[in-house]
Chain A
Amino acid sequence: MKFMIQSYGTQQDYDGMAGKSTETPPWSQEDFAAMAEFMTKFNAELEASGELVETRGLAAPVHTRRVGPGTLVTDGPYAETEEVLAGYWIVECDSFDRATEIALRLAECPAPPHVLATAYADVRPIDEGVPPEAEP
């Protein structure tokens, strides 16, 4: 069974991680290095266990282009504090519980306290589609 683990962030969260001062303090180099180390290890373990299908981090929401009806294109459609998809993992594992267990480990990721206080992730099963007809 495949699941998508989704993490979220706002433009402000991204700015903080990029070292920009906003209403909340920016991440220090130590914070950033600790996060990068955790993620590298987290991904390596998932890869080693054979459960990782793929993972990506998305660039800041400000780089978003939204296409609407017709040829309408809007740059940066999100508000500064709007929570949007920040990254995802697609994992293949034996059960929903195992996928949840993986997602729960993300709570151990080092980050400044004000980020940790509101961080969360979603685990969603991926639609497997209709299995193909058996070959004659």
Chain B
Amino acid sequence: MHDTAIEDVLRSEAPRVLGAVVRRYGHFDLAEDAVQEALLAAATRWPNSGLPNDPGAWLVTVASRRLTDLLRSEQARRRREDVVAQGTPSDRWRAPAADSDIPSDDTLVLLFLCCHPSLTPASQVALALRAVGGLTTEEIARAFLTSEDTMARRISRAKKRIEDSGEPFRMPAADGYAERLAAVLHVLYLIFTEGYAATSGTDLVRHDLSSEAVRLARIVHRVLPSDPEVAGLLALMLLTDARRGARVSADGALIPLDAQDRSLWDRDAVAEGTALVSEALRRGEAGPYQLQAAIAAVHDRASRVEETDWPQIVRLYELLLRMSDNPVVALNHAVAVAMARGPEEGLDLLARLADDDRVADGRRFHAVRAHLLEMLGDEAAARAEYGEAARRATSLPQQRYLYARAERLG
């Protein structure tokens, strides 16, 4: 049995096993530790013994036993009354194999639980990666450039909070469902963008996190195939991730969309993403993830940058602007307008954003202004704006890109 094959089994079983254990016994906090120990036991035993007939059931049994031990020692320590897990009727949870009827639903419930409203987004992200993604605390810490100690504490505090909230292990009720699903999608999106646009360090892209976000989004989409925003988010990730190979040059420099070698784009990912978003859009009113995916699809459809359908992109950004007062969307809208109708109109839109503190002081605002001034042919002003943008950037590859643009106009 290959270790990687075992690892694959463990990763796909982990959230279901945790779901099954929490569903039966509660105690999310301790259950998570118990499942981690069961996974560890499997990882050390299976390479020699081979896979058990039903790996999921094996893991549930071992994790349940371990949970009983943990509860007992916890109870002994706290001198609490013995409430749960008297005896271990192992046949009860061995029976019809780790929830084989609704396996993926447990994964989704778990994801909902991890995105509990009492947690900050940073904690939701960490917990989702650990409990559902099956990443180790060390891996998560490394991905977010923080120490293992800090991340371990963040995760354990998050688990405790969920435990204290007393939320039962089931899908949220209808009135809170939409909000919770939005939180889940937001968490997946945060994981994806963290991987795609690493906010610090000299590496621009941290691939593992993007792939993990795509994997989790696929799971949610499999369970909720008719939810258009879930499909929209998965499409957005695929369509953005398709450009991965073209986004950074061999020597680590950032390549903007209009200068990318489009033959390097992943055509399969583009096709899959485009199909997903087209199908979702047919179902009625488009949500923000679908609109962003649709914009990405328009870009990806153009085999040369000159073939980009800018008027269509402008229309999509206008729909998106009606939904949210997001200054980044407003900036992108200004660029699209400039591409469709000329730099003057784009600069007019930017001027209206100049009073908005959320963007006017940022790198993005000045970078966009610089691009539009360059389009207009005002080289001196463009050069100054590139400099302004570079001074505000905190990532070295971004700074290098912006100074290089400025130098070119020199």
Contact = CB atoms under 8 A, between A and B. Distances in A.
Interface residues of A, number: 21
Interface string B190-231: 000000000011110000000000000000000000000000
B403 A33 contact: no
Given A39-B202, A40-B203, A63-B394, A18 B252 contact: no
B223 to A, nearest CB: 37
Given A36-B202, A57-B202, A63-B394, A19 B252 contact: no
Interface in A6-56: 17-21, 26, 29-30, 32-33, 36, 39-40, 53-54, 56
B390 interface: yes
A32 B391 contact: no
Contacts of A33: 251-253
A53 B400 CA distance: 29
Contact of A26 (B202, B253, B393, B403): B403
Interface in B374-410: 387, 390-391, 393-394, 396, 399-400, 403-404, 406-407
Contacts of A126: none
A36 B403 CA distance: 18
Nearest to B142: A47
Contacts of B396: 17-18, 32
Contacts, number: 47
A17 to B, nearest CB: 6
A99 to B, nearest CB: 19
A109 interface: no
A19 B400 CA distance: 5
B147 interface: yes
A20 B390 contact: yes
Contacts of A116: none
Contacts of A56: 145
A1 interface: no
Given A18-B400, A40-B203, A57-B201, A32 B252 contact: yes
A79 interface: no
A59 interface: yes
A33 B200 CA distance: 16
Interface in A48-80: 53-54, 56-57, 59-60, 62-63
- B interface, how many residues as a size bin? 20 to 34
B369 to A, nearest CB: 18
Interface in B249-302: 251-253
Contacts of B391: 62
A19 B403 contact: yes
A56 B25 CA distance: 42
A44 to B, nearest CB: 11
A53 B149 CA distance: 11
Nearest to A36: B202
A18 B399 contact: yes
Contacts of B403: 18-20, 26
A53 B253 CA distance: 28
A62 B392 CA distance: 9
Contacts of A60: 394
Given A18-B390, A63-B394, A29 B253 contact: yes
Given A30-B251, A62-B391, 11 more contacts: A17-B396, A19-B407, A20-B390, A20-B406, A26-B403, A29-B251, A29-B400, A36-B252, A53-B147, A59-B394, A60-B394
Interface of B: 145, 147, 200-203, 251-253, 387, 390-391, 393-394, 396, 399-400, 403-404, 406-407
Interface of A: 17-21, 26, 29-30, 32-33, 36, 39-40, 53-54, 56-57, 59-60, 62-63
20 contacts: A17-B396, A18-B390, A19-B399, A20-B399, A20-B403, A21-B407, A26-B403, A32-B251, A32-B252, A32-B396, A36-B202, A36-B203, A36-B252, A40-B203, A53-B147, A56-B145, A57-B201, A57-B202, A60-B394, A63-B394
For the complex of A and B, 9 pairs with smallest distance between CB atoms:
A18-B399, A33-B251, A19-B403, A19-B400, A59-B394, A36-B202, A20-B403, A33-B252, A29-B251
